[in-house]
Amino acid sequence: MAGRFLKAFEPIARFLPEVRPPERKVGLNEKLIWTALALVIYLIMGEIPLYGIGRGGVDPFMYLRVIFASRRGTLLELGIGPIVTAGLILQLLAGARMIECDFSNPEDRGLFTTANKTFSLIFVGVQALAYIVGGAYGALDLRSSVIIFSELFVAGMILILLDELIQKGWGIGSGISLFIVAGVAQNLFWEIFAPLPAGDGKLYGFIPALAQTLMNGDSIISIILRAGNLPSLIGLIATVAVFMIVIYCQGVRVEIPISAARYRGFRGRYPIRLLYVSNLPVIFASSFFANIYIWSQVIWSRFNRDNSNFLLNLLGQFTVDSRGQMIPSGGLVYYVISPRSLSDVAAHPLRAAVYAALMLSFCAVFSITWLQVGGLDPGTVAKQLVDAGMQIPGYRRSRRPIQSLLQRYIPPVAVLGGIIVGLIAAMSDFFGVYGTGTGILLSVSILYQYYEALMREQISEMYPALRSLLR
């Protein structure tokens, strides 16, 4: 039964907007249509500017846009940040057993979803206020502030419903993953092909900059490592390398033989992938770091602009450059924002080392947490195998011996996988990969998940008897 905390959200459920799950089996083609529709709505929202706000100028949250799937000055200003933050908090509370929730109970899952949606809407409002009060849009009068807040709140609610639409069975995967991939693809295209002028006298995109360099007879060295963290040859090589490394890691797995108790001769293998918890640890860690950056910036701009408050300095210190951009210069926020090039790493080695250590540590912790919260722990997997009529040859067909075997593999592999994705994300940023290291890692992992989901959908349509096992 649900605990007291989740029961408190029961009266709220009737007032929240909701996407009802399908009452019939939704075919693969229909799921693809709904998924594409959600993506189109997301892309359109990214082109609609906020009232009275320009999209140009310095973007203080430029490197966080990939994580939040957001776009500056548009209805996607907040992106999925509030949804991820709300989910992160609730999942950590559930994983730490601070709130009671039985994820095998449909009633508890429903209340947990209601709590998640409620917290998401709260964080939409709170982050919208933080952007307005923190001066992200400059000085605003009351009327403009109310209009912008309303726009951001409604846009946040639409993203929540789009994510719910896909997750409840109308689409494939999750809205959060879909929007992240779309944002990364846009960033990659921009950094490779953007024909706009950049600060080093060349065009911004790498391909136009390369063509300009060759046509002008300039030295190729000028685009090997460009100043100002602009797209460079090293960044392009690193981007391709990260793609290959993540694809390779996706294929590394430990396979445990299984067989069907009811159908003799049916044998298979249960894969425990190296990236067992996929990209979730780096999403949670990056979202946590991003929230530290946002709130430390808001607090600094309102209460500590002269960096004179000792306690607030521990959270974050900033300096304002000639363009009016706030640059982290000390405190915790200084170490949770990655250096974005090899020259930055060489200039700030301590910052790079601390950032990498924090990223790896948080990814490992979130991996262990997600085993319990996401139903991926050995006990839950053993129960699923037994309920699906499967057994491991040489072991009794009961939960306990199967759980004992899975316990040897799943927790160590999950921690190792979390450390690896954290290391890839950190090192990728150091080499200045296009779309950020976290973005590339997330996009490859998400595309791999979509591939697996599409294969499961096709197999379940061809062989309905295997549908329960594929779930």
CATH value at residue 292: 1.10.3370.10
| CB neighbour class for 410 (10 Å; exposed up to 12, middle 13-18, buried from 19) | buried
| Position with higher pLDDT, 39 vs 294 | 39
**Quick one: 165 and 253 in the same domain?**
no
**Quick one: 288 and 373 in the same domain?**
yes
**Quick one: 398 and 322 in the same domain?**
yes
In a domain, 241, yes or no: yes
**Quick one: 168 and 235 in the same domain?**
no
C-beta atoms surrounding 300 within 10 Å: 24
205 contacts 190 by C-beta, under 8 angstroms: yes
**Quick one: 290 and 152 in the same domain?**
no
In a domain, 189, yes or no: no
| CB neighbour class for 464 (10 Å; exposed up to 12, middle 13-18, buried from 19) | exposed
pLDDT value of position 466? 52
Q: Which residues pair with 254 in a beta bridge?
A: 272
Query: Is the pLDDT at 192 greater than 50, yes or no?
Result: yes
Lowest mean pLDDT segment, chosen from 70-79, 149-158, 260-269, 351-360: 260-269
pLDDT digits (tens, 9 = 90+) for 98-137: 777 776 677 777 788 888 889 999 999 988 888 787 666 7
Residue 131 to residues 109, 317, 357, 457, Cα–Cα distance (Å)? 32, 18, 29, 41
pLDDT digits (tens, 9 = 90+) for 428-441: 888 888 888 788 88
Domain end call among 151, 172, 193: 172
| Position with higher pLDDT, 321 vs 410 | 410
Map residue 259 onto helix, strand or coil.
strand
| Number of independent structural domains in the chain | 2
**Does the CA dihedral 144-147-148-149 come out positive or negative?**
positive
In a domain, 33, yes or no: yes
**Quick one: 305 and 164 in the same domain?**
no
Percent of the residues in the chain that have a pLDDT greater than 90, as a whole number:
11
In a domain, 192, yes or no: no
Query: Is the pLDDT at 316 greater than 80, yes or no?
Result: yes
Output the pTM of the full model. 0.78
**Quick one: 2 and 137 in the same domain?**
yes
**Quick one: 165 and 224 in the same domain?**
no
pLDDT value of position 1? 46
145 contacts 121 by C-beta, under 8 angstroms: no
Domain end call among 114, 145, 172: 172
Domain with 64, as residue range(s), is 1-16+27-172
Helix (H) or strand (E) holding 106: helix 106-133
Distance between first and last Cα of the chain? 24
**Quick one: 242 and 127 in the same domain?**
no
Map residue 373 onto helix, strand or coil.
helix
What is the C-alpha to C-alpha distance for residues 278 and 120, in angstroms, rounded to an integer?
Answer: 23
pLDDT value of position 441? 82
Query: Is the pLDDT at 336 greater than 80, yes or no?
Result: yes
Q: What is the mean pLDDT of residues 207-231?
A: 83
Q: Where are the alpha helices (DSSP H) in 18-63?
A: 28-45
In a domain, 375, yes or no: yes
**Quick one: 154 and 263 in the same domain?**
no
Domain end call among 116, 146, 172: 172
In a domain, 210, yes or no: no
Query: Is the pLDDT at 180 greater than 80, yes or no?
Result: yes
pLDDT band of residue 56 (cuts 50, 70, 90) is: low
Beta strand pairing status for 267-273 and 390-391?
unpaired
pLDDT band of residue 44 (cuts 50, 70, 90) is: very high
**Quick one: 436 and 368 in the same domain?**
yes
pLDDT band of residue 3 (cuts 50, 70, 90) is: low
Query: Is the pLDDT at 26 greater than 50, yes or no?
Result: yes
What is the C-alpha to C-alpha distance for residues 291 and 40, in angstroms, rounded to an integer?
Answer: 27
DSSP 55: S
In a domain, 191, yes or no: no
205 contacts 214 by C-beta, under 8 angstroms: no
pLDDT value of position 350? 92
CA 29 to chain centre: 26
Cα radius of gyration (the chain): 24
Q: What is the mean pLDDT of residues 344-360?
A: 91
**Quick one: 74 and 145 in the same domain?**
yes
| Position with higher pLDDT, 234 vs 385 | 234
In a domain, 211, yes or no: no
Q: Across all residues in the chain, what is the average pLDDT?
A: 82
